[in-house]
Structure 1
Amino acid sequence: MRLTAIKLAGFKSFVDPTNIPIVGNMVGVVGPNGCGKSNVIDAVRWVLGESQAKQLRGASMADVIFNGSSTRKAVSRASVELTFDNSDASAPGQWAQYAEISVKRILTRNGESSYHINNTHVRRRDLVDIFLGTGLGTKTSYAIIEQGMISRIIEAKPEELRGFLEEAAGISKYKERRRETESRLKDTRDNLLRLDDIRRELDEQIGLLREQAITAQHYLTLQDQLKRAQQLLWLVKKRDALANQQRHAEQISLAEQQLAAQEDSLRGLVYQLESQRGDVLQANHTLNDAQGVYYAAVAEVSRLEQSARHLQETRARLEAQSALLSKQHASFDQQHQALTQQYADTAEAYAESAIIIEAAEYEGQEINDSLPEITDIVASTTQRVHTSQQALITAEQAHQLASAHGQHAEKTVQQLQTRQARLHQELGGLTAVDSTAIAEMSAMLDEFNESLAILTEQLADNQQTLADLIAQRLPLQQHVEQLNRQHHQTAGELAGLNKIQQSLSRNNAVDAWLQQHDLHHAPRIWQTLHIENGWETALEAVLNHRMQAVAADLATMQAVADSRVILFDNVTPPLAVATVGAFGLPRLLDKITLKSPLHGALHDWLAQVYITDDISTARAMQHDLPLGAQIVSPAGHILTRHSLQFYAEQDAAQGILARQNEIERLTQAHASITSELAINTALADELQATINDCQHTQTQLRTQHTQTQQQLHQSQLNLSRRQQEAERVDYRRAQITAEQAEIDTQIQQEGRAITEAQVQFTLHHEQITLLQAQLDDARRARQDADGLLQQQRELQRQAERKLQTLKFTAQTQHQKIHDLARAIELNQSQQATLLEQHESISIELLALDTAEQSAALQVAIAHRVDAEQQLAALRDQLEQRNALLRQQEETRMQLEHSLAPLRATLENLRLKHQEAALLLQQSDAQLVALQADETALALVLNSGFRTAGLNQEINKLTAEIEALGAVNLAAMQALESAEERVNYLQAQADDLNLAMNTLTEVMTTIDGETRDLLKSTFDIVNRSMSELFTTLFGGGRAELILSGDDLLDAGVQVFAQPPGKKNSSIHLLSGGEKALTALSLVFALFKLTPAPFCLLDEVDAPLDDTNTERYARLVKQMSAQVQFLFITHNRITMEAAEQLIGVTMQESGVSRTVSVDLTEAVSLAE
């Protein structure tokens, strides 16, 4: 790339948009001190990504924005743009395709900074990456040499010098990437440590969650049992509350009748009391009216007394104000006389000052008229001196220039011949790179890219499959958990009902008898039948204690005189009976399904038992029933020919058939849930196995993807090295060929320049002698004219000062006259105001009259005494009426006290009735809250549950639940989530470990290659620096020395000994020697890795003419490879430039550029 233009706007002193075209390889920037030349260097450094304000000679980054001047306002933004010619496609990466590249940076005062490449907004890092390894890096730039930087380079620390070598070797970008990689590795190790901590914590949590999950399952079972017991308890309370509510309602009705009789007696007395209270109230109203009259009279007396006091105070105040106004009027009159006298005196003095000013102005005008003639004489002599000086300077410069041109041309020819020989030697040493190897590496790179694309696609597909499977697993797991809860719930209910049934079948005495007769395995009759839902209570009411009858073969049994149970024959079949009973009513036997057909006893017991839904309807046919016939309702009420028996539970054995039906229903439901649970559990296990296989496949694909990426990266790295080497050899061969042709042309040009310089040298020497004499005569004439002009100007200044003093005195007098006139006018106005106020006060004093006020006060006092006497009489009447009312009130209270016991009794009954209602309401609310099925619970309740037993069972279950302590109900779900997270974290840890190992191996490989490249660079730069040092000093020696064993960490020191010196340290060199040594190092770096351009800011300042010539000659030689832009005040350096750009500051604080030739450049620099 080649720099073609620099564009600035608002940057430091370049406030106006400025375009600096760069048309040559040696461009000089000249101008006087302080005109802003170095701001061009700062602009280039800033646009290339510099982020430290001190490197730009500022305190903050906002200092680069133009901050205003005496004639210009500050601007709000600064921008700098560099334009590069990239026709050789040497830009890295995607930018190689552009023939021209523009790099731009914009900064606003609000701190917003933006970077642009070819008008595309990019990051700062993107811009910096373009110039990494080219000598233009932001940290180790050796291509931008500012004022004083030459000495800082040569005296830099060893670690800083190593940075220059890394930049020249092109490994700075690799080191930058390596630092980023190390940072990522550190973060990854930290992440792994955190992962290990998290996994350990999760392992502990999983162990705890497993225990909590078991506890939670047991807790849910106990909660279900507790809920059922609470439902039964509240149903019992509801039944009791209904009975209590009805009983208390009857008692309340009786108590209300007794209370009503007593209250009638009280009402008569209350009516009399109300009449008496009306009389008292009327008396109170009369008394209040009298009090109002009295209080009004008192208030009128107080008002009149206060008004009299106010009149006296007003008269005294007005008399005092009148005296004060008289005194102020006399004072203002004296002041008016004094102001009138001052006004007359000041007016007279002002008239005298006007006459004196007129005389002084005339005298000053005479002096001013004589100045132009003297000024013209001075200007004429000054122009003569300036013309002679310019002619002499031009002649001297031409004389020196001719001498320098001759010497420079001779040395240039010698250097060009030496350079030509060295280039020929270098051309013979260049070796071409094998193109076949590059083609093979490109083919391998394509294969890796194709494999990576396939693996990426497979990885994405597998990831999507895994996500779908995990999404399917959640609803299935939730369904399994729901089935588990139902399974445990039905199992608990079955166990509870079976336990009740078994407890009813156990009787120690009966069991012993059955064991004795080998009947302990024989079934009870209720175990051998099934009855339709709703008729369980009816069958239990009819059979009663026969429900526990035991099946036996009565024909084969011995005597059973000692039998304690009812036996029924399970062998003899029953007799055939009609299927329809009397009166068209169905029989109870029709609702029964027998598990064994040999139940003659059951047919005997139920042969004449009929059923009806409503027992009251069946009573119409009661007297038509045959002897022994029965009609039973679903509630168990039994109707016979001569009796009606209402069924009520008597012991816990009742409800045995309902429980048995519930057991059969729950058994079927439990079997169905168990089957469904097994199927869904198998499905969940199968789905989890599929997920595990998919996760394993995902891990394998990730490993293959990472390995392929590493192979691709290594192949890209190898191909890039080969291609860069091939490009470097081809580019260098072309450079050498072009440079050799250019050297031949330059040798011919320098020969012609030597001859022309000798002729010019003689001609200009004669011209200088003549011009020196003319300059001396002109200087003497200008000195005489300057003396006369200074004398006349002193007289002018004295006259101006005198006139100014007189004018100031007159102005002061005029202002005083104006102030006195205003004071007199104000005094007159104030006197008029005082007279008006005095007259107003006199009128107010005449208007004051106190006689009428005193008469009104005496009338008000008499009215107050009359009102007071009338008020006392009314108070006595009211007291008499109140005494009579209190007597009747005591009688009423005695009657009311007699009502209190009746009301207390009634209130107590109402509270009990309300308590029963509240208990009933509370029972309903609790049953709703517990989601109780009262119909189903009523069947269980009829079997004999009582409040005490239920409370005992609830307390037992509550104690068991409390014994469990705090229960984590989400433990099962949390356990599963924790196990999934552990598996996920393990997969992540494996991926991270694999990536870390891969990165570590790559970094080791790059370190080895970097070490080799840095060693080769060190040797080449060391050799080139030694050659350049000898060229610049005409002898001596210089070399680079490593300060460590490992090249990647070792520092670099510079050792230099100019000809004839044996110094032991670089710090003992002079400023010029340090500068030349530093230039030897910088140019050696350029020879190895030429930067797109090099900026030099007055690096020739400490050099004498001889060393400056050497410096300029070396720069000219290097310009064949590198584009130089240098700032200088040295004439020799200017002569070497192909293009000169002038910077001026004609407007204060604003820099502008101009194109100049050599003569103008020398004048501009001085």
Structure 2
Amino acid sequence: MVHMDKVELYGFKSFGFKNTTLKLSPGLVSISGPNGSGKSSILDAIVFALGEKSPRILRVPSLKFVVNDQEGSRKSTKVARASVHLDNADRKIPVNSDKVVVTRMINNEGESAYYLNKQKTTRSHIRDILDAAKASPNVFNHVQQGYIQRISELSPDERQKTIEDMVGLSYFDEKKRAAESELERADRGLEVALAKMNEVKNNILDMEEERNQVIRSNILNQELKYYSTIQSLRRLQSLQSKIDSATQRYDTLSDDIDKTSLTQSEVQEEINSLVEKRKTFLDNDNTYGKDKAHIANEVNVAVQNVQDLTVELKTTKSDLEINKRHLRETRQNILEIVSTRRDLRQKMHATHETMNLMYRQNTTITDTLNGVDEKRANVLSWQSEAASKKARSEGVLKLYRATLNTHERHLYHIDTSIKDDIDRAQSDYMRLDQLEQVISDMVSTRDRLKLWIDKNDSRIKHTHDRLEELDKVRHSLKKNISDIDTLTILSDQVTSRYDSKLRLARRVMHEDYSVGRLRVDAPELGVLGLAYELLSWDTTHERAIMAVGADWLKALVVEDVDTMLSVASIIRQMKLPRVRILPISALPNTQSTLDYALSGYIRCEDRFTPLKNFLFGHVTLCSSLQAARRVAQGRGHAVTLNGEYVGLGDSVILDGGSVVANLSKMISVSSDIEGLQRYIKQLKRLSEVYSHRLADTEKKIHRYNSKLSQMRQAKAAEDQNLENLESHISNTHKVIDDISCRLQKYNSDMPGKKTQSERLQALVYRVRELIATEEDQIPTDTTQKIAVKLELLNRQKTEFESLKADADTKLSNIKAEWQSLQSRSRTLISGGISLSRRQITLIQEGERLEESLEPLQEKLSKKQGTVELLREKEQNIIKMSSDFTKHIRECDDALEPLRAQHGNLTNDIAGLRRKQDSLKRDISDYRARHLRITDTLPPHTRDIPVDVDPEPFMDKIRAELEGMPPLNANAPASYARVSSGYRSMSERKNELEMDRNGIVAFIEGVEKDKRQTYLDAFDVVDTEIRSIFDKMSGGSAWLELEDEDDIFGSGIRYMVQFPDKQKRVSTSLSGGEKTLAAIVFVLALQRLKPSPFYLFDEADAHLDATNAERLANILSERAQDSQFIMVSLKEFVVKKADLIYGVYPKKGISQVVSYRDSRTSAVSP
């Protein structure tokens, strides 16, 4: 277990400038003493040595005040040092040593230096290795005065924050923040994916239209190919007829060639007879000619053999000379290798002798050095015995030497600082010049970069303005297309609705249709209106009126008969169905004499009264059907209010509620509907034009967007470069300013440092004089003898060690040289063997060449004799062959006319064959063309009709193809690619959603782990509080969450219930009870983060005797697992302590005394 073995103090607070050592032990250590004696300063020294840098925790205004200030006149000794010796037997601290000594020194300027096992180090390194063993001081293992009171006043939120900090919940918050950042990026990616999907979805419809155009083009091309096939079949028929005609002529020429060939055969037989005679003579001549040729060939072969043997003989002699030269060179190289190896063996022998000598010398030196070490160990033992006797007498010199060490260390630091300042100043001046040059270059680069960015901004602005213009055009085109589409859709709906009604009117309601057509030009035609429009009535009489005049209510009303005739002629011209016309002037202007005449219930203008009387003046309005029948029997007309019309002969017309169909207005607008349809067609054509313009505009926008994107990317890159350059320039300016400030500080600090150095040199000289004076008073006989003997032995040891090192070095060099010589020897041996083998090979080759010279010379002589004999035989044969030449010439004269006739016949046959070949070529050409056309035809063309001329159809298809708009050949592939891309985007969107869900799940997991960690820590603290509080007071205490549903947003209540009292919140307790509850809370918190040692500074100050004793029992129990060092004035802690230190002041300086083993012995340091 890691624990503190020892604490050493020098010049720290109330401990004066003397070495104070406190030897500690595991378990409970008590420090006691009167107020102001400095007992708490021991705990401050421990945490100071372990790296504490807070003046508040060290209880000083600033760190420099930890240096003792009692000896104010001794300013040169203003330094404080604290060392903590830690037991590291279990290697919990990552240092390979059983003891770890941590030392911190601070001067009166507040400058600290750290040492780890007497090696200089840094505070961060010390804190890191202590953190590994959980031994770094913190507020829970170093409980200061007043901390218990602060704990007792914690609010629920502060209490919760304390536990969170103990278990490190900030780690979960950091992970959550990082995950939320990832979630935000995932959401942005998902938004981008959805936006891209919407954009692609809008483009798919346009691409689908382009794809359909391409498909239509492909269909037309297939039809064109079909008609091209018919055209090819027609060509095949033509070629086949040509082939048949050429074949017939070819057969005729073949017959002519056969007849001519027969005549030629007869002439050839006569030629052959003469040729046989000539051949007989020629054979005899050839026999001698062959003999002559054979002899000539043998002569040539013999001459060639002589020449080959001559060349071979020369080559063999040349190879023999080369072989002899190589053999001489090889023998010379072998002699050189033998000589070199002889010298090398001599060197190796000498080196081996030297190496053996060095081995013997090295052994002698080692034995002598061991003897010197043995003597030196004896002298050192003697010196240790003398030193132990002399140790007490050297106490007087200890302070001087410590002071001298301090002054020398300060002098060394000052001198080193002066030298470092000079070196750094020189380096800073050089770097300042370099940085100024770099600044100049960077400013020039920045200006050029800004100029480029300004130009690029203008280009971007121009492109952006152009894009805005194009976007406005696109928006306008889209709006126009949308308006046209909306208008055409609505117009189509309207025209469709009116078309159905008009068709109905034309088929059924002839009169309504005619009236509606005429209503358009009614004012010009003189039509006053329709009858039902000029008359009005109450709804009560409507059924009666409809039963009487339903057929005449739709009649046209005009002023006079001329107008009626004019309208009738127009009706005939328009070929309209039946129309009723009533001229007002032709109607009788008489009043009805009937009582209750129906005309009396109708209202109209005065001038239309004849119309009313004409239509309804002869009908009586009755109350019932029986009354109406009575009127009708009196040769009158009657009608009831229910629409029952009774005419002459008791004929009855019943009206069940019919109305006048007002379709005339609808029919009158039919011309407008037709005009609207024409306008719709024009709008659709205009929409197509707008669509083409929109497509062109989209392409331009895409091109400009791509260009703008590239320019913006370039601008972003250059902006980043400019920003980096500006940052670099700014940082360089800061570096220059820092260097200038450092140089000014060097120059301003240098005089003071030199003065301080001179003062320290004087102090060092003075202290050395004091030490010399004191040393003269100490008997030095034994010490001087030991020193002389030890110095002699050390000198001998040094000399022998130097000799041994030299001998080892020489021996190592000789070994290396020996190995090098061995390597060279092996190389020479290998080279000699290779040369010997080459020498043997050359000797054998030379012998072989010499043996082959003599046979070659003999063979050459024989070949030359053979050539001479063959030349004599050749001359004899030439003389015998001259007689056969005469007979052969006579045969040639007879053959000449026959051969001429044979040649003429051959020419005739050749001419016929040329014609035949020409026809054959034509046939072959026709068949090749036939085959080419056949190869281009698709399969299954047998059923295709060839009697149809395909040209008109092909012209029509070509015209349609030429009339098609420009096609995008990649439209189907683009449509498929975009559709596939849309599916890929959908899959990518799903992946992004899965990633987002994964991040959300991770955040939830982090929240769960954080909650669980917090609850586990809460349970540990709560369990410890219950246990400790029960031991200390016999009561109950526990923790409660203010809101269990929101554990991180609410605080923690600390509930306490003392025996025979009501439970209360800890902040409402009395002073002593509150202190007890706070101590319990601190002890419980320590379980969350156990430490190998704990420091308590009067934690029991406000406890009564009973609770103080219980606290001492608990600390004694916990001291079995950790070391507890407690400053206390209570006797209960002293009773339980394993080691007790008492602190008391003497002349303003704190003194320490320790007690062990139940105070049976006391030792004062």
> Structure 2 length normalisation: TM-score?
0.28
Q: Please say which structure displays the higher CA radius of gyration.
A: 2
